[in-house]
Amino acid sequence: MMLPLMSHCDELKAVNPELRLYALVDGLQYQQHRGFPLHSQRGLNMPLLRDTDGEALADAGPWLFDLEQDRGWLGVFEELSQQRPAVVWLLTEKPLNILAQLLQARLDTELPDGQRALLRFYDPRVLSKLQPVLDKEQRHSFFDAAHAWFWLEDGQLKRHGGEHA
């Protein structure tokens, strides 16, 4: 899977060298697969539920990793993504803290009955189903946090955006 992903990333980086590769990782899926939780490392990663109402679940929620800081995580997350629906890859020029804020803002959604819910867009299965239910404006607004989003679906690398990065 990494060869097609890295090929796409290299093409986009040729147009915009400022782009950075990130991994959005489901902490619970990681912990169940590896047998231990993720740990916060300043400048490398950030649990997106930190400093939110869901902070008690931060370790099990989504984590954002700046893979430009440590490429050693690429293999770990590649293996995880092939075994479990746990990784979404993002390509953007935004720094870790700004991208984390943008993604945090997308975690909460309001249901038709007015209740609030966690939108698990960091789960590739949810991300795949989300795309077709959003209209063009909603898709643009939701996905504008990154130039390109990549994930595995049925063993195939899927992509949203990046055409004009």
Q: How many domains does the chain have?
A: 1
| pLDDT at position 165 | 40
- On whether the CB atoms of residues 150 and 77 are closer than 8 A, the answer is no
Give mean pLDDT, residues 1-23.
Answer: 85
| pLDDT at position 86 | 97
Tokens of 62: 């989504």
Query: pLDDT band at residue 73, thresholds of 50, 70 and 90?
Result: very high
Mean pLDDT of the chain: 91
- On whether the CB atoms of residues 47 and 97 are closer than 8 A, the answer is no
108-110 and 45-47 as β-strands: parallel, antiparallel, unpaired? unpaired
Spatial separation of the C-alpha atoms in residues 165 and 154, rounded to whole Å:
26
Share of the chain above pLDDT 90, in %: 71
Query: pLDDT band at residue 6, thresholds of 50, 70 and 90?
Result: confident
The answer to whether residue 8 scores a pLDDT higher than 70 is: yes
| pLDDT at position 164 | 46
Q: pTM here?
A: 0.92
Give mean pLDDT, residues 70-90.
Answer: 94
| pLDDT at position 2 | 63
| pLDDT at position 12 | 87
Indicate the SS3 state at residue 54. Answer: coil
Q: Tens of pLDDT along 108-165?
A: 988 899 999 999 999 999 999 998 899 999 999 999 999 999 999 988 999 898 654 4
Structural domain boundaries enclosing 31: 2-161
The answer to whether residue 20 scores a pLDDT higher than 80 is: yes
Q: Look at phi and psi of residue 37 and say left if phi exceeds 0, alpha if psi is from -120 to 50, else beta.
A: beta
